[in-house]
Amino acid sequence: MHIALYKPDIPQNTAAIIRLGACLNLKIHIIEPCGFNLHDARFKRVVMDYLGFSKVFRYDDYDKFLSKNKNKRIVLMTTKAKKKYHKFNFKKNDILLFGRESAGVPKNLHETIKDKVKIPMNKKTRSLNVAMSVAIISTEALRQNNLLK
């Protein structure tokens, strides 16, 4: 199972997602540029030694990410989706794409990615923290594919 972060903004969130990836055996794809340096103290404080247990791939941009992952289905996580994550059929090799904390993904990606899902939330709220969203969605995808250990 794969998690892709589109130009992440917040070092602590990215670090928490990398730790989650290490614990759940997820491959983490970081589409750059990030809004921080991977040597940032805030990143290091949260990631601790989990970077050594993680499978992290970095890409200079979205086009390079696409060219390296041609045979995988990309599923966009967005509050604008109609389909709820627990009613979606995830596949073992899916890439679950999460947008920037500050802006999501650009409109052109929204238009080109066919599969989109959301986490249903209270209508008075805007969004969940991206690390929490990754945890919720990835565990459901792993559960559906019998990949939880």
Mean pLDDT by 10 residues, the chain (149 residues): 96 93 96 88 84 92 97 95 97 96 92 96 91 97 92
Q: Decide if 135 contacts 20 (C-beta within 8 A).
A: yes
What dihedral angle (degrees, nearest 10) is formed by the CA atoms of 50, 26, 14, 120? -140
Q: What is the pLDDT of residue 144?
A: 97
Question: What DSSP string describes 5-38?
Answer: EES---HHHHHHHHHHHHHHT-EEEEESPPSS-T
Q: What is the pLDDT of residue 127?
A: 84
Q: What is the pLDDT of residue 45?
A: 83
Which structure tokens are listed for 59?
A: 């890409």
Residue 142, SS3?
A: helix
Q: What is the pLDDT of residue 129?
A: 94
- At CA 81, angle to CA 61 and CA 105, rounded to 5? 20
Altogether, the residues listed in the chain come to a count of: 149
Q: What is the pLDDT of residue 31?
A: 97
Write down the pTM of the prediction. 0.94
Q: What is the pLDDT of residue 39?
A: 80
**Domains of the chain by start residue, with CATH:** 2-144 (3.40.1280.10)
